[in-house]
Chains A and B, each alone.
Chain A
Amino acid sequence: MDPFAAIKDTFFQECEEQLAELESGLLAMEGGDQDPETINAVFRAVHSIKGGAGAFQLEALIRFAHVFETALDEMRSGRLAASPEVLKTMLRAADILADLVTSARAGQEGEHAQQQQLSDELKAMSGAAGADEEEDWGDFEFQPMSVAVDVPEEAPSARAFKVRFKPRADLYAKANEAALLLRELVRLGDSQVELDTSEVPLLDAIDPEAAYLIWNVTVSGDTDELAIREVFEFVDGDCELDVEAQGGSGAGGGGLDIGALLARAQAEAGPLIETAPDDFDLTALLQAAGLPEAEPAPTPAPALAVVPPAPAAPPAPAAPATPAADASEGLAANQSRKTEAGATIRVDLDRVDRLIDLVGELVINQAVLAQRVMEAGLARASAVAMGLDELEQLTREIQDSVMAIRAQPVKSVFQRMPRLVREVAAMTGKPVRLVTEGEGTEVDKTVIERLADPLTHMIRNAIDHGLESPEKRAAAGKPAEGVVKLAAMHRSGRIVIEVSDDGGGINRERVKGIAIEKGLIAADATLSDEEIDNLIFMPGFSTAAEVSDISGRGVGMDVVRRSIQALGGRINITSKPGKGSTFTMSLPLTLAVLDGMVVSVEGQTLVAPITAIIETLQPKAEDVHSLGGHARVISIRGGFVPLIDVGMALGYRREPLPSSDGVALLIEGEGGARAALFVDAIQGQRQVVIKSLEANYRQVPGVAAATILGDGRVALILDIDTIVAVSRGEMRKAG
């Protein structure tokens, strides 16, 4: 990658971080945070985005970031109060900024639909607060300017300039060096330098920190006053500088040279975009020009005496909370960030995945070795066997540690939700507060990435269907603002994520009615409350009549359930009428290993994911009923579930195993449908390393992946949902 592209990449990565910082800062302020470092960090985030955007000439982004930054600056300086309304606008602005970053990243630089409106709102806020900054230059066209530096008001070539340069002590104190300035000056043309030592006192009166030397330089040739003054740009105000054109009228004439001022201001703006007219501080310039120099400045007065560094007060009514004062506070507040930054390295994901693969191999190898040793008949207490135990322990630890590298806090997906909540709240007209908990809970990166969609859907649902309208809430004696809570925690080796709302809870009558109407359940079915609640996960439950703009996008809760199950997870709902509903998802911490039930079928070893298994049972002959053909059902506690012969489903045998010769695994598949998988025998439970079958062979129906067992043999991991779906189809044909 060329270095510029690499930096651009860095820029977009950094933008993501800045946007997250921006949002969390604004949310903290909304929650009452008044720490000046918070608003500073928020300002910095937008400022940095603007800075980087400037470097890459992302103009829509620059323009919006600038307006946003101006408003934040007003807030930072206390001129604009951080009222809830203002913060709401800022949050929306942050959303648009995020969108602009996304489009810029995709190379689609363009205006955002709401950009103009929000831009106007921000400007109105800034304008109302800072009356000094009246100029509305939001419509200012940002066009890369290439202002020629050598265009002063008159043709200057082949002229001579007499320069008198007298540094003050300040010049040296700021580490400027007269010699370097002179060196640069003489490069401009034929020069003659004279040193005037007349002000140097006698040795005993010399102050080593003071400045006594004066240089008189005559520069002739193809140069102009602007170029000469540019040499002394950094020392303006720290020296006496007279530039006099020889043998001509014009610039040397004294007075304020507005033309030169403008030319110079434009030249400073440079060929890059940053035109930022608010630097165009004419007041200050005029003030500076009108203000007599504190000391007997020889005429002509410097035409370009920009703001003298000392007291020339800035025109704005001053900025009380300026950074210098905040530095020490910020120091304490941010101490933790430093540690974070210092203790982090960035590593290519590929490298981590390779390491994980290798550790997987190691785990398998260790298991193979252990089995061989056992088979060799070595005593458990032998040194070799004990050494192997230690190896096993160590291997597990390595595996855990390596998995932890891929683990990330769920924060990265949680932090996308506040925006969603704002949008859905605005669309539904329901005031909503989002509460998040356990953002630091870590889980595998892949799991996090695949959580975004189901979470988005569930939060939409929670607001759209879960929360009541403000009127209904008021009638129920609840605060108008609904609360949606998103929480993550670790529980027995898995991550549990809850999405809850304090709405009206599931309307069971209605849910049951819909399910009957859709033919999902029999009209006379008797269901427990829990079973009714879980009906919403059934495929086909979500209906066109239900589709609203917000949550119903043709995606029902069955899709949510399926995506959670695809991650090896489970989802449940609990609901209390009038109090709200809670969706609880439990997911594995990693997708690289799986807790499996190892079973045998026709001499083959297979693995079923334990998460899908509810219980195992030995069928009694009288509980199994044939439906004709090979289709069978088993009666479990009064209900019938299909009994699926795994050997037949996978083509290992043509005739089903007699029901008394095997074991049934009661499983819960897609949509909560139950089935019993019939296998020959159970070998045990084991954590297995998942090997993709698609990557190594090809996709096989009914098989999710493969693993390598301790004896070195490959075992297939069952894709339970497919097996159940296929068997049901066959059963329907048979029945």
Chain B
Amino acid sequence: MSMTVLTVDDSRTMREMLRLALADAGFRVVQAEDGIHGLEVLQAERPQVIVTDINMPRMDGFGFIEEVRGDPQHRAIPILVLTTESDAEKKNRARMAGATGWIVKPFNPDKLVDAIRRVAA
């Protein structure tokens, strides 16, 4: 069975870009609009990898990562954060929160898939 990737992003455009790139690479994609929605989808879909944006309404990426890492059931799921080059500080905060790795926006689809393969078997 193909690997399930959960993408969490409040931008529809970004969610669609991610879906296109990931589906092309053979992943099953499930989506959420923000951190809280992400936690709900996480329970229901059991993804093997999570790709999340940082700046989102309701619950941002940092909060979301902390929640996932604090949940014994899901703490081992690799989480990649979407960040821009200019957000060096955010990247580090995300790592402190427990992010496994990061993807620089605007992302290159191959790099995205590489990054996912780097963190998930």
Contacts and interface: CB of A to CB of B under 8 A. Distances in A.
Interface of A: 3-4, 6-7, 10-11, 13-14, 37, 40-41, 43-44, 47-48, 51-52, 54-55, 173-177, 179-181, 184, 231, 233-234, 237, 268-276, 278-279, 281, 284, 307, 309-310, 312, 314, 316, 319, 322-324, 326-327, 330-331, 334-335, 337-338, 341
29 contacts: A3-B20, A37-B57, A40-B57, A41-B57, A44-B10, A44-B56, A51-B14, A52-B14, A174-B99, A175-B79, A175-B119, A177-B121, A268-B104, A269-B85, A269-B104, A270-B104, A271-B108, A274-B104, A279-B85, A307-B92, A314-B92, A319-B89, A323-B60, A324-B93, A327-B58, A327-B60, A327-B62, A327-B63, A341-B33
Contact of A273 (B78, B106, B107): B106
B25 interface: no
Given A330-B58, A341-B33, A52 B85 contact: no
Contacts of B120: 180
A331 B13 contact: no
A237 B115 CA distance: 18
B76 interface: yes
Nearest to B111: A270
Given A37-B57, A47-B55, A341-B33, A176 B13 contact: no
A175 B108 contact: no
B113 interface: no
Given A7-B17, A180-B121, A234 B86 contact: no
Query: How big is chain B's contact interface, by range?
Result: 35 or more
Given A51-B84, A55-B13, A176-B101, A270 B108 contact: yes
B25 to A, nearest CB: 14
A174 B98 contact: yes
Interface of B: 10-14, 16-17, 20, 33, 35-37, 54-63, 66, 69, 75-79, 84-89, 92-93, 95-102, 104-108, 111, 115, 117-121
8 closest Cβ contacts across the A-B interface? A234-B101, A276-B86, A54-B106, A11-B13, A323-B60, A327-B63, A175-B78, A55-B106
Contacts of B105: 51, 54-55, 274
A148 to B, nearest CB: 14
Contacts of A7: 13, 16-17, 20
A535 B121 CA distance: 78
B57 A272 contact: no
A322 B20 CA distance: 31
Contacts of B88: 279, 281, 284, 307
Contacts of B59: 327, 330-331
A709 B114 CA distance: 66
B78 A176 contact: yes
A177 B120 CA distance: 8
A59 to B, nearest CB: 12
A324 B63 contact: yes
Contacts of B75: 173, 175
A272 B86 contact: no
Contact of B89 (A3, A54, A314): A314
A52 B13 contact: yes
Given A48-B10, A279-B87, A173 B69 contact: yes
B85 A177 contact: no
A331 B61 CA distance: 13
A179 B121 CA distance: 9
A323 B87 contact: no
Nearest to A184: B118
A194 to B, nearest CB: 22
Contacts of B87: 279
Given A48-B13, A234-B115, A281-B88, 19 more contacts: A3-B20, A7-B16, A48-B14, A52-B14, A173-B75, A174-B99, A175-B100, A176-B119, A180-B121, A181-B118, A231-B118, A234-B118, A237-B95, A273-B106, A312-B92, A323-B63, A324-B66, A331-B58, A331-B59
B76 A175 contact: yes
Contact of A51 (B11, B60, B63, B119): B11
Given A176-B119, A324-B63, A44 B84 contact: no
Contact of A55 (B17, B60, B99): B17
In the complex, which of the residues A173, A234, A284, A327 has the most CB atoms of chain B within 10 Å of its own CB atom? A327
A14 B13 contact: yes
A270 B115 CA distance: 14
Contacts of B66: 324
In the complex, which of the residues A176, A310, A319 has the most CB atoms of chain B within 10 Å of its own CB atom? A176
Contacts of A174: 69, 79, 95, 98-100
B57 A330 contact: yes
A605 B117 CA distance: 74
B36 to A, nearest CB: 7
B98 A310 contact: no
Contact of B58 (A234, A274, A319, A338): A338
Contacts of B77: 175
Contacts of B121: 177, 179-180
A40 B61 CA distance: 14
Contact of A309 (B10, B76, B92): B92
Contacts of B61: 323
A231 B99 CA distance: 16
A10 B62 contact: no
Contact of B57 (A175, A276, A337): A337
Contacts of B118: 180-181, 184, 231, 234
Contacts of B76: 175
In the complex, which of the residues B16, B35, B69, B79 has the most CB atoms of chain A within 10 Å of its own CB atom? B16
A284 B88 CA distance: 10
Contacts of A307: 88, 92
A13 B35 CA distance: 23
A293 B91 CA distance: 20
Nearest to B77: A175
Contacts of B14: 48, 51-52, 55
B30 to A, nearest CB: 16
B35 to A, nearest CB: 7
Contact of A274 (B56, B93, B106, B119): B106
Contact of A323 (B62, B69, B86, B106): B62
B11 A52 contact: yes
Nearest to A43: B55
A173 B69 CA distance: 8
Nearest to A8: B13
A281 B87 CA distance: 10
A307 B91 CA distance: 10
A704 B51 CA distance: 56
A269 B105 CA distance: 9
A309 B99 CA distance: 11
Given A176-B101, A176-B119, A284-B88, A309 B96 contact: yes
A3 B17 CA distance: 9
